[in-house]
Structure 1
């Protein structure tokens, strides 16, 4: 939705809630962002995947230019090189993150943004340089300082309070 539409909806909602308040009725929905839950977001930096793609592209160019098949490759060779470099740029600019809400943890995975709610979290493990969210069903989410440059110390502090408030087992190694 566009922002102007959201503003119109919020404005109309405020007017209706004022009318309902005068009539002694409960408001339809909370209007402002004041009732929105605080979400702590920790962003990392993807370095390994873009570096791998650039090195793979360089190897591909070197091997192809030194072969006899280069003369037959045409424009598609350079389109392929450009697309690999574009993919490396996309991975570099699309920063990985972990967001901790009231009762969920959200992260960017290869398939898009995913959330895991407190009912699906088996345990949270905190190690030096690593934070691991163990799920009941599905693979564990590993947030690493080495691979994706996450601020694991800050994440560990927030996840300690999250685990305590949601009664999730917390393992520290």
Structure 2
């Protein structure tokens, strides 16, 4: 009985919110999401390396006198260019939430909670988050075009809130 009641309440709330939205009124029953600051960068070094590798491959293979282009040759070139495009368009980010820091690594999105952070170091053009276990997370203006000044000021507030060691160089 409880689930059907919850479904009815949710359905009615959605209907009322749609009507209120049409009239420009604020919605009811919606919980506001916690504030998360998200800073994005741009990955350009790895795509350039992929394009250079496929260029070298193409030059070396086509200079062979016995070379005859096959469809697999063109598929290989196309796949490498497509992979470079994916890495260029898939922007790296750092999200700073209430009690965690999240970023995208090669294996997917990773989240680091306050209890796993040893300290935070901000340098000119780079931000380093030191973990209790594992490698440090480095966010660089040179490699990934992160806005390190904005990230550093937000992380300083984060460190002050959670009593984490913060070092400004």
Q: TM-score range by the shorter chain?
A: 0.7 to 0.9
Quote the residue 1:39 is aligned against. 36
Quote the residue 2:146 is aligned against. 150
Offset at residue 33 of structure 1 (A): 3.5
Q: Distance in 1 between matches of 2:165 and 2:35?
A: 22
Structure 1 unaligned blocks of 5 or more: 1-7, 16-30
Offset at residue 67 of structure 1 (A): 1.4
Please provide the CA RMSD for this pair. 2.1
Quote the residue 2:166 is aligned against. 170
Alpha carbons of structure 1 residues 10 and 128: separation in structure 2 relative to 1, 3 Å? farther
Offset at residue 74 of structure 1 (A): 1.9
Quote the residue 1:59 is aligned against. 56
With normalisation by structure 2, the TM-score equals 0.83
* 1:6-36 Cα deviation digits (max 9, x unpaired): xx89834959xxxxxxxxxxxxxxx5242x2
With normalisation by structure 1, the TM-score equals 0.81
* 1:83-121 Cα deviation digits (max 9, x unpaired): 000000000000000000000000000001110000000
Offset at residue 70 of structure 1 (A): 2.4
Count of paired positions: 150
Q: Among residues 102, 110, 117, which one is paired with 1:121 in the alignment? A: 117
